[in-house]
Structure 1
Amino acid sequence: MIEITDVVKAYPLGEGEVVAADRLSLSIGAGEFVAVVGRSGSGKTTLLNLLAGIDRPSAGTVRVSGTDLGALSESALAEWRGRNVGLVFQFFQLLPTLTVAENVMLPMDFAAAIPAVRRRDRALELLDRVGIGDQAGKLPSTLSGGQQQRAAIARALANDPPLLLADEPTGNLDSHTAGAVLDVFAGLNAEGRTIVVVSHERDIRSVVDREIVLVDGRVVADEGVTA
């Protein structure tokens, strides 16, 4: 599903630049559950942003499901992202003035991949799926951190994307809640969805198939994980 070839990503810094991805190459197959780990500044979030088409490489190619993301215009890239990628962040990023169900419906409204008459029902189905269907009509501020992250996962699944990307999805949660959220990701992967998670969570190895270690924008280890 994912093919990254000799990717360089450099950001300007003062009179020079910082290289966040340094001739990075890797492949991820459809249906894999992959953890990307490394110290702060190793390039983990940059890698996710490249996979999501949020950042463009300075050099090299990023292909997802056969699509060369660098060849797409900004508008085409936004449309592609809305239909193909679900994003989950550490701090949830739910809109505070919308109910939980309305937050989940929002990506459907933008991508128009789901018929309008189906959107609310789909939102409720997804909230049930992640275990918080009874919170659908509430505002995000009334939910616990774990419930908000489950809502964010439901939102990421709104348009049924084949690829789910998560940047430190358990970093703002206690260990018990983090484990429950990782179990949600494991269940989604068991259904065949491809998942790439950036995480410092030590228990991540218990649920993923593979762990990729980055140092200074390069892959220094890439190995299968046996639970």
Structure 2
Amino acid sequence: MNIASNNEAVLAVRSATKVYATAGGDFPALREVDLRVAPGEFVTIVGRSGSGKTTLLNLLAGIDRPTSGEVWVGGTGVHALPERRLAAWRGRTVGLVFQFFQLLPTLTVAENVMLPMDFCDTVPARQRRSTAMHLLDQVGIAEQAEKLPAALSGGQQQRAAIARALANDPPVILADEPTGNLDSTTAAAVLDLFTGLARAGKAVVMVTHERDLSGYADRQVTLADGRIDTDLAVPA
């Protein structure tokens, strides 16, 4: 197990609480959560529906802000980042992977991968296509580059989404139920990709309902009622 210390953590959540106002009153989705993830760690977040998993992921991505507490990513206090800077920061720092892929249906696979480069202007224009092709080759679907997403299988679309998440070489990969719509064989291949990304030095945090991830993740964090219930090493 490689539990991050204060100094080496690329992700650090400190006493984070998130309260949502609802018709029935205030609902605390997260309560005083502390979490640290180091570069090279693959951490899964599990728990029942409503336990706070996606809320925590959204705080790490800067999609939502804590009601109280702090969220630090790569030395940046995301909780205090002005709204006008969040999108650009996210594009350079965090790669997001979703259960339903969220590929743009009218763009080819290669164009989908190039999109974050276009948005953040991190890669020279003349190099974007070759960079996209390299990433698609890394995830094993370079031959699908000129197809529209609808022509790909679910597993191929998820691989394309992972390539897109890597477009700007972010230090952090956040994934929300990325294997939820995949068969077991394809899901295992996607988990292998995440394991490889962690071994390459990226911090990978994945929300999942899968509880047996031996051989893939380094740690499993269990949430219950908005609190961290356990934070344990995953057996090799």
Range class of TM-score, shorter chain: over 0.9
Task: Please name the residue that 1:78 is paired with.
Answer: 87
Alignment-derived partner of residue 199 in structure 1: 208
1:62 maps onto 2:76 in alignment: no
Secondary structure of 2:185's partner?
helix
The answer on 1:142 being equivalent to 2:119 is no
8 Å Cα contact 2:46-2:211 kept in structure 1: no
Find 2:196's aligned residue among 187, 197, 218.
Answer: 187
Alignment partners' CA distance in 2, 1:119 and 1:209: 33
The size of the alignment, in residue pairs, is 227
Instruction: Give the superposition deviation at 1:202.
Output: 3.8
Aligned 1:126-141 pairs, distance under 5 A: 126-141=135-150
Structure-to-structure mapping, 1:30-45, within 5 angstroms? 30-45=39-54
Q: Map 1:148-187 onto structure 2 (within 5 A).
A: 148-187=157-196
Structure 1, unpaired ranges of 5+? none
Gaps of 5+ in 2: 1-9
The one of 102, 107, 118 equivalent to 1:109 is: 118
Q: Deviations over 1:21-76 (max 9, x none)?
A: 11111211121110101011110011110000000111010011111112211121
- Please tell me whether the aligned partners of residues 36 and 44 of structure 1 are also in contact (alpha carbons under 8 angstroms): yes
TM normalised by structure 1 equals 0.98
Equivalent-residue separation in structure 2 for 1:37 and 1:15 (angstroms): 26
How far residue 205 of structure 1 moved from its aligned partner, in angstroms, is 3.1
| % same residue | 63
Q: Secondary structure at the match of 1:177?
A: helix
- TM-superposition CA deviations, 1:89-123 (whole Å, max 9, x none): 00000000000000000011111111111111100
Alpha-carbon distance between aligned partners in 1 of 2:203 and 2:47, rounded to the nearest angstrom = 21
CA distance in 2, matches of 1:188, 1:64: 18
Partner SS state of residue 204, structure 1 = coil
Following the alignment from structure 1 to structure 2, what is the Cα–Cα distance between the partners of residues 198 and 204?
Answer: 12
Deviation at 1:193, TM superposition (A): 1.0
TM-score, normalised with respect to structure 2: 0.94
Distance 2:234 2:181 in 1: 25
Q: Which portions of structure 1, spanning 4 or more consecutive aligned residues, are displaced by more than 4 angstroms?
A: none
User: Aligned match of 1:16 in 20, 25, 32?
Assistant: 25
Task: Quote the residue 2:6 is aligned against.
Answer: none
Partner of 1:125: 134
Q: CA deviation at 1:15?
A: 4.6
* Displacement after TM superposition at 1:203 (Å): 4.0
Report the CA distance between 1:124 and its aligned residue.
0.6
Which deviates further from its counterpart, 98-107 or 179-188?
Answer: 179-188
Asked if the contact 1:179/1:203 (under 8 Å) is kept, the reply is no
User: What is the CA RMSD across the aligned residues, in angstroms?
Assistant: 0.9
